[in-house]
Amino acid sequence: MKYLKVIAFTHKQIELKELGRLVVCQENLTDKLAQVKKQFNIPEIFYLATCNRVEFVMTTPQSVDKDFAKKFIEAFNTELCHDSLSTFMDSASIYEDQEAMVHLLRTSCSLESLIVGEKEILAQLRKAYEHCKEAGLTGDAMRMIMNCVVKTAKEVYTHTNISKNPISVVSLAYRKLKDLNLCSNARVLIIGAGETNRNISKYLQKHKFSNFAVFNRTVANAEKLAADLGGEAFDLEALKTYKKGFDAIITCTSAVEPIITTEIYQSLLNGETGRKTIVDLAIPNDTAPEVLEQFPVNFIEVHSLNEVAKKNLQERYHELVHAEAIIEQNIAEFIQQLKQRRIEVAMRQVPEKIKEIRNTAINSVFADEVQGLDEQSREILEKVINYMEKKYISVPMVMAKDILINEN
């Protein structure tokens, strides 16, 4: 665990609108992570980006201080200017060793989220890890860490009331949308077919909204969501030519540049001049600032949910104590697991060595004697050797684990 390091940029120190500038386009993500992994000689790494955080989780024996973090971010996100980079680094949080593990567990349990008690963060964390695991960017250490992370989060959500009457960014956004009293046959454009938009679509469906058009970079994903909603599916390019008008736009993509520009918005209006609604849950925002300046828009974004989030934290304050106790218990268990794993790795060659001794004894040292035995005697000898082999492998490993665990 001493090699576990986290470089974190979160809503606690950075404005959400600014945080979006650290987000990297999903299409380039794997290549960039592989590049910095090699450049900085990092054994394992994964990247987490949500609506209120950008974090790099890594295992490395190197000291990860502000100087290292600055060089790392500079190499990872080459689009940041020097002044912006310095500003971000002033607000960066760096965690090492057990402190890094505690941070990951608190994050997975939503204790570090904008909306304490929301469960989406665990799914986002697992998805981020799986993406990097499939790309070969993580290994055994991160596997053990993530097993503990998932186990702890599930225990917190199961054994505390922290997620009772769950509130999430999506549910808060829908509440604000509902307050605008849109009619159920309102024309809704959904841009992006990811988890966030799928979740908010469920709220819309539940409240009888039925007029949907879904736009997504990958048309197959747009078609899947559109089929669930009984709507139409298009690729993102179709936004430029779509002429059926709209009453509300729900948007959340991983794009690093605005999707809804003034030109596209003007085209989507198709001559209509009334006030429209945009729910933009993307970080960075999918909506260009100029759209809000030039057109009458009811604009709902993650940043505007801060006050509700603070009230939510106050309501769940007493559950934090229970959650932190579960985290502390899991940290203690994880430390024991790490000690056992160290023994397993250190003694990995024991079985192979014992098999070598066995083969040498039977095929060389005592070859003539073994050959002179009758079939029944050889079977008995084989059983005895197999039994002894298993014991010679298991007993030393168990004893070594006990010794190491009882050291403390």
Annotated binding residues for substrate, written as ranges, equal: 50-53, 113, 118-120, 124
How many CA atoms does the CB half-sphere of 219 hold within 13 Å? 7
Annotated active-site residue in 25, 51, 109, 148 = 51
Which of 176, 228, 166, 167 is CA-nearest to residue 197?
A: 228
Mind giving me the DSSP string for 220-246? HHHHHHHHHHT-EEEEGGGGGT--S--
Which of 254, 261, 264 is CA-nearest to residue 287?
A: 261
| φ/ψ bin of 271: left (φ > 0), alpha (ψ from -120 to 50), beta (otherwise) | left
Measured on CA atoms in the order 294, 179, 51, 313, is the torsion positive or negative?
positive
- Collapse the DSSP code of 6 into the 3-class scheme (helix H, G, I; strand E, B; otherwise coil) and give the result: strand
Rounded distance between C-alpha atoms, residue 368 and residue 355, angstroms: 19
Residue list for the binding site for NADP(+): 192-197
Measure the CA dihedral 145/149/150/153, to 10°: 170
Rounded distance between C-alpha atoms, residue 343 and residue 324, angstroms: 29
Pairing of strands 44-50, 53-59: antiparallel
Rounded distance between C-alpha atoms, residue 113 and residue 103, angstroms: 11
Residue list for the binding site: 50-53, 113, 118-120, 124, 192-197
Measured on CA atoms in the order 131, 137, 139, 142, is the torsion positive or negative?
negative
State yes or no: is 183 an active-site residue: no
Tokens (6 digits) for 131: 């993406």
* Catalytic residue list: 51
